[in-house]
């Protein structure tokens, strides 16, 4: 979570896009890549990136079950991100040795994740569920937790979130616009990544 200010949330519909997209992000300074398990080719894309882009650290997003966690680990994912939290997912990732960034949106979910040893959490969907005000409210009771707010985060509002003491990084899909990916506009993606790397100092 401290490698770069932004973890890109990636949706890949075409396996041929996986490697050039990963290389474009790495060229811009972003190495931690979350490929969401939302398309039939997602696992194959993770496999390709893990094999062909060694400078990247590719993980699986949208992990919603222990079976997803297992499939992600088999494909070579180095970490997992879940949109919510269950004990089963936490346990599966722990057993697989797969670092997990669990999604939470309420105090009870934070407590459940902490009970299982997770205190670096994804706040999802961040803007829709309260944004910076919610994160500030959590600073008191959950002062030992670091968050990666994701959902509705953009280049325009990321700075306000990154300025909070309990935010380690943010997640978002704005580094990989669907039209740039479909059109193979890798230079634009590298530019977006470069700008994202500058966010923490902004």
Token duo for residue 98? 């797969």
Minimum Å gap between C-beta 140 and ligand 3PG is: 26
Minimum Å gap between C-beta 150 and ligand 3PG is: 5
Minimum Å gap between C-beta 54 and ligand 3PG is: 26
Residues 125-184 that bind ligand 3PG (CB under 6 A): 125, 150-153, 172-173
> Residue 80, interface with ligand 3PG (CB under 6 A)?
no
Minimum Å gap between C-beta 34 and ligand 3PG is: 8
Residues 100-129 that bind ligand 3PG (CB under 6 A): 124-125
Task: Give the Cα separation of 116 and 112 in Å (integer).
Answer: 7
Nearer to ligand 3PG, 9 or 161 (CB): 9
95 catalytic per annotation: no
Nearer to ligand 3PG, 99 or 152 (CB): 152
Nearer to ligand 3PG, 55 or 93 (CB): 93
Token duo for residue 174? 């704005």
Minimum Å gap between C-beta 64 and ligand 3PG is: 11
Total number of residues binding ligand 3PG (CB under 6 A)? 9
Nearer to ligand 3PG, 55 or 154 (CB): 154
47 catalytic per annotation: no
Q: Which ranges constitute the DSSP H helices of 30-165? A: 42-52, 66-75, 87-96, 107-115, 131-138, 158-162
Contact 194/4 with Cβ under 8 angstroms?
Answer: no
CB-based contacts of 1-4 (< 8 A; 24+ apart in sequence): 1/101, 1/120, 1/146, 1/148, 1/168, 1/169, 2/168, 2/169, 3/31, 3/32, 3/57, 3/169, 4/29, 4/30, 4/31, 4/32, 4/169, 4/196, 4/197
> Residue 9, interface with ligand 3PG (CB under 6 A)?
yes
Question: What amino acid positions are annotated as catalytic residues?
Answer: 34, 122
Give the residues lining the site for ligand 3PG (CB under 6 A). Answer: 9, 124-125, 150-153, 172-173
């Amino acid at each position: 979570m401290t490698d770069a200010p932004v973890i890109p949330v990636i949706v890949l519909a075409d396996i041929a896009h996986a490697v050039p997209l990963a290389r474009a992000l790495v060229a811009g300074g972003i190495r931690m890549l979350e490929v969401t398990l939302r398309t039939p080719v997602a696992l194959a894309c993770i496999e390709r990136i893990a094999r062909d882009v060694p400078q990247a650290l590719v993980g699986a997003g949208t992990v919603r079950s222990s079976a997803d966690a297992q499939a992600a680990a088999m494909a070579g994912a180095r970490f997992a991100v879940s949109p919510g939290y269950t004990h089963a997912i936490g346990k599966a990732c722990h057993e697989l040795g797969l670092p997990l960034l669990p999604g939470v949106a309420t105090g009870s979910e934070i407590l459940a994740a902490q009970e299982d040893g997770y205190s670096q959490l994804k706040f999802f969907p961040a803007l829709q569920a309260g944004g910076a005000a919610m994160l500030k409210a959590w600073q008191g009771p959950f002062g030992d937790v670091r968050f990666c707010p994701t959902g509705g985060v953009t280049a325009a509002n990321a700075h306000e979130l990154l300025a909070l003491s309990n935010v380690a990084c943010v997640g978002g899909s704005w580094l990989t616009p669907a039209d740039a990916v479909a059109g193979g506009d890798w230079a634009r993606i590298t530019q977006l990544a470069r700008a994202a790397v500058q966010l923490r100092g902004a």
